[in-house]
């Protein structure tokens, strides 16, 4: 339902609650067996465990993560393609995902959400968003309101963990030969956690 006009909006998705716990990777033995020997395990070892960087000539995996400025990955140069978008939402970045798989030959993808994401409960930031566009971008109130009400439903993610799990499921169906791992970055400790499925 469009929150401004009341009309149906096919892009607005209600994400149903799921049970999701986090797996802290604080030792190599905590990495699930299904990821051992893959670039996913390497990412966790580099970022969480301080593994010494190796040299890479080409990307080993694709990382989809939020654009939030509080997140920084500890990985070597050339290790990964990275697509940043609000909430780690790759729905509108599929051509770039396909490019990394088809041309970049990556066979592994990680989706990294984070806690306290700005794409959760966007309606609570509506006035700040609209006023920010008026003040910072020089928009009229009507332009800013129209922009917010048009795009908010397709960018609202609902819940960080649940969205990452649903996006992982969607991408697995879309790219069945690619191994995809759902993760959450906690801004308090700057560590990556696997989301238990």
Reported as a single tens digit per residue, the pLDDT across 65-109 is 999 888 889 999 999 999 999 999 999 999 999 999 999 999 999
Stretch 51-71: mean pLDDT: 94
CA distance 29 to 161: 23
Stretch 41-53: mean pLDDT: 98
pLDDT, residue 20, reads: 60
Stretch 129-156: mean pLDDT: 95
* Between residues 113 and 117, the one the model is more confident about: 113
* Domains in the chain, CATH or no CATH each: 22-121+156-195 (3.40.1050.10)
Q: Given the structure tokens 């993560």, which residue do they identify?
A: 65
pLDDT, residue 18, reads: 40
Q: DSSP string covering 17-50, please? A: P----EEE--SGGGS-GGGTTSHHHHHHHHHHH-
Model confidence over 135-148: pLDDT tens digits? 999 999 999 999 99
């Amino acid at each position: 339902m469009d929150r401004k006009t009341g009309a149906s909006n096919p892009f607005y998705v209600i994400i149903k609650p799921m049970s999701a716990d986090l797996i802290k990777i604080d030792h190599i033995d905590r990495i699930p067996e299904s990821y051992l020997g893959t670039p996913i395990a390497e990412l966790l070892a580099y970022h969480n465990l301080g593994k010494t960087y190796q040299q890479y000539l080409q990307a080993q995996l694709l990382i989809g993560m939020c654009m939030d400025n509080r997140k920084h990955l500890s990985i070597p140069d050339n290790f990964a393609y990275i697509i940043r978008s609000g909430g780690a939402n790759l729905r509108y970045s599929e051509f770039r995902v396909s490019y990394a798989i088809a041309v970049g030959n990556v066979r592994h993808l990680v989706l990294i959400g984070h806690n306290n994401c700005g794409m959760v409960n966007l309606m609570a930031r509506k006035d700040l968003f609209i006023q920010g566009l008026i003040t910072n971008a020089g928009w009229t109130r009507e332009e800013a309101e129209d922009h917010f009400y048009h795009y908010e439903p397709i960018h609202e993610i609902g819940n960080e963990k649940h969205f990452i799990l649903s996006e992982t499921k969607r991408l697995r169906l879309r790219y069945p030969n690619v191994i995809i791992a759902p993760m959450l970055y906690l801004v308090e400790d700057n560590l990556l956690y696997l989301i238990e499925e």
